[in-house]
Amino acid sequence: MTTNETITLSNSTGLEVDFTAIEYADGFKGPTWLTANIEGSEIRALCHKDGNGLFSVTEDEVEIALIDWLSAHLKGKVTGFRWMWDTYRTAKVA
């Protein structure tokens, strides 16, 4: 059994995520590796979390949100990717 780990963020922190093996629907050709800095406020919105202070998200919630984030930012429907949950980095937002 695996544990659905959680991370606590705020609007002033975000995630730096290394994506690999990005897969696209409909034969779209795009990058297969990408490092992204995603603001906490964007993670909050993608995960449907209300409020302005600290919030917690699970690994599963973030993975679902990242599919949508990748599809929007890469301008093509993303169907899957790999990332290392244990190696994400939190970063202060400028």
User: Per-residue pLDDT tens for 32-70?
Assistant: 888 898 888 999 999 999 888 899 999 889 999 999 999
Residue 85 within a domain: yes
What letter does residue 11 receive in the DSSP assignment?
T
Q: How confident is the model at residue 3 (pLDDT cuts 50, 70, 90)?
A: low
Q: Are 90 and 13 in contact (CB under 8 A)?
A: yes
Residue 24 within a domain: yes
**Statement: the pTM of the whole predicted model exceeds 0.85:** no
Residue 22 within a domain: yes
Residue 1 within a domain: no
- Whether the pLDDT of residue 29 is over 80: the answer is no
Q: What share of the chain is helix, strand, coil (3-state, %, to 5)?
A: 30, 40, 30
What letter does residue 28 receive in the DSSP assignment?
-
Q: Give the total number of structural domains in the chain.
A: 1
- Whether the pLDDT of residue 87 is over 60: the answer is no
- What's the domain range around 75? 6-92
Residue 44 within a domain: yes
